[in-house]
Amino acid sequence: MALLVETSNGYARGLLRGVIDYARDHGHWSVYLGEHGRGDEPPRWLARWDGDGIIARIENERIARAVTRSGRPVVDVSAARLLPELPWVETDDRAIAQQAAEHLLERGIRHFAYFGDERFNWSNWRQEHFCELLEKQGFDCAVYSASAASKRDWEHEEDELADWLAGLPKPVGVMACYDIAGRVVLDACRRARVKVPDEVAVVGVDNDGLVCELSDPPLSSVQPDSRRTGYTAASLLDRMMRGRRVKKLSYRIPPLGVVTRQSSSVLAVTDQDVAEAVRYIRDHACDGINVKDVLQRVPLSRRALEARFVKAVGRTPHAEVERVRLERVRHLLLVTDLSIAEVARRTGFRHQEYLSVAFRRYTGQSPTAFRSEARAGA
């Protein structure tokens, strides 16, 4: 099989890792990975290549025509969706936007913005979902598109972005469409002399380790499950190469969660007692704490804490403890093979049954069904 996937970024390398893992799990494949950049011309070798199938990021019409002419089974892993008749595996951009929105909301932020690139479907989808999710909670979202200034020189564009960031109400949470855009936002903040994360909290997408760690400050990022995306694409191609029919054409893979770094490590809550309570909950929720334990950390009565907590955070202290624990449960169900009993133990639930009831109330599914659906969809 052939891979028309670039190796220049963390997301694409994750896709390739998933393909490699599938090949190892299901017998020996002969895989050809030529040097290929995103949006490049079709490689010359493709016209004379005598393989069995192709996994490709079909980013332009030239690549679309070339893979069609090959006559081989093809699985598309590009959001461009230029050949809708092909099986297609991509990120779940709604879930990515939701992870970013919840991450910023959890920090007490009440002003939001999105920095995107309208040339790409995935950026437009993330923008649409991010703004829609926030609007449903009563918040506006400012939007800036990099391509609006793409024909001007970079210094002019950075000045314009810096002016836009400086004019936003503070503190503001910014979702960048991917990590490189997140780094651009951080550079513009420095140019505008805006403090990160105190005035602007930034979260990107892809969790590309090099980009995130080289950013100043290090960039928080939503981590897609790119390995599972590649694994799913390989499993579909395997089925097609065996002459079997693929019943479902569209597969969207949910993200693994947000990796928090300094760019969003802020708690925008002016009530210091509530801020202390929130910090304690986030550090110890999975230790099995309850509201009585929280009250030992702040000089407030239960009634006063609950009233002030709801005003600042939008939830009761008990609801925040449960939310933090259940988000950790969701993460463990997605990325580990731990038994439900072990997940319960690691997240502070005394019994597996208590976890199941709470998780069903939180997600509408049992832990087992949630895990099974996530893996079946992938």
Distance CA 111, CA 290 (A): 30
User: Residue holding tokens 């019943």?
Assistant: 247
User: Residue holding tokens 């092909």?
Assistant: 86
Question: In the predicted model, what is the mean pLDDT of residues 264-270?
Answer: 80
pLDDT tens, residue by residue, 50-94? 889 999 999 999 999 999 999 999 999 999 999 999 999 999 999
The residue length of the chain stands at 378
CA atoms lying within 13 Å on the CB side of residue 206: 24
Question: In the predicted model, what is the mean pLDDT of residues 122-139?
Answer: 96
pTM of the prediction? 0.81
pLDDT above 80: residue 164: yes
Query: Can you give the pLDDT at residue 264?
Result: 93
Provide the phi-psi class of 269: left if phi over 0, else alpha when psi is between -120 and 50, else beta: beta
Over its C-alpha atoms, the chain yields an Rg (Å, rounded) of 23
pLDDT above 70: residue 376: no
pLDDT above 70: residue 147: no
Q: How confident is the model at residue 275 (pLDDT cuts 50, 70, 90)?
A: confident
Question: In the predicted model, what is the mean pLDDT of residues 116-131?
Answer: 95
User: Residue holding tokens 């992870």?
Assistant: 99
Query: Can you give the pLDDT at residue 153?
Result: 59
CA distances (Å), 20 to each of 13, 43, 239, 307, in order? Answer: 10, 21, 16, 53
Q: How confident is the model at residue 24 (pLDDT cuts 50, 70, 90)?
A: confident
**Which residues are bridge partners to 56 per DSSP?**
4, 76
Q: Give the residue from 273, 315, 314, 323 showing the smallest Cα distance to 294.
A: 273
Question: In the predicted model, what is the mean pLDDT of residues 260-266?
Answer: 90
pLDDT above 90: residue 148: no
Query: Can you give the pLDDT at residue 40?
Result: 76
pLDDT above 90: residue 220: yes
Q: How confident is the model at residue 190 (pLDDT cuts 50, 70, 90)?
A: very high
**Which residues are bridge partners to 112 per DSSP?**
141, 173
pLDDT tens, residue by residue, 223-250? 999 999 999 999 999 999 999 988 889 9
Distance CA 108, CA 268 (A): 5
Fold assignment, 93-224+258-264: Rossmann fold (3.40.50)
Q: What percent of the chain has pLDDT over 70?
A: 97
Strands 257-259 and 220-223: antiparallel
How does the average pLDDT of the chain come out, rounded? 90
Query: Can you give the pLDDT at residue 7?
Result: 84
Q: Compute how many other C-beta atoms are within 10 angstroms of the C-beta atom of residue 20.
A: 18
Query: Can you give the pLDDT at residue 373?
Result: 77
Query: Can you give the pLDDT at residue 47?
Result: 83
Q: What are phi and psi of 364, to 5 degrees?
A: 85, 5
pLDDT above 90: residue 30: no
Helix 302-313 with 317-335: angle, nearest 10 deg: 60
Q: How confident is the model at residue 48 (pLDDT cuts 50, 70, 90)?
A: confident
Distance CA 131, CA 93 (A): 12
Whether the CB-CB separation of 340 and 367 falls below 8 Å is answered with yes
pLDDT: is 146 or 299 the higher one?
A: 299
Question: In the predicted model, what is the mean pLDDT of residues 266-281?
Answer: 85
pLDDT above 80: residue 377: no
Q: How confident is the model at residue 269 (pLDDT cuts 50, 70, 90)?
A: confident
Q: How confident is the model at residue 39 (pLDDT cuts 50, 70, 90)?
A: confident
Distance CA 34, CA 37 (A): 10
CA distances (Å), 176 to each of 13, 65, 189, in order? Answer: 20, 32, 13
Domain 272-377 is of which CATH architecture? Orthogonal Bundle (1.10)
pLDDT above 70: residue 176: yes
Q: How confident is the model at residue 155 (pLDDT cuts 50, 70, 90)?
A: low
Residue-wise over 252-268: b if at least 16 C-beta within 10 A, else e? Answer: bbbbbbbbebbbbebbb
- Delimiting residues of CATH 3.40.50.2300 domain(s) in the chain: 2-91+226-254, 93-224+258-264
Query: Can you give the pLDDT at residue 157?
Result: 78
**Which residues are bridge partners to 366 per DSSP?**
none
pLDDT above 70: residue 149: no
- Delimiting residues of CATH 1.10.10.60 domain(s) in the chain: 272-377
Query: Can you give the pLDDT at residue 150?
Result: 52
Q: How confident is the model at residue 154 (pLDDT cuts 50, 70, 90)?
A: low
User: 2-91+226-254 maps to which CATH number?
Assistant: 3.40.50.2300
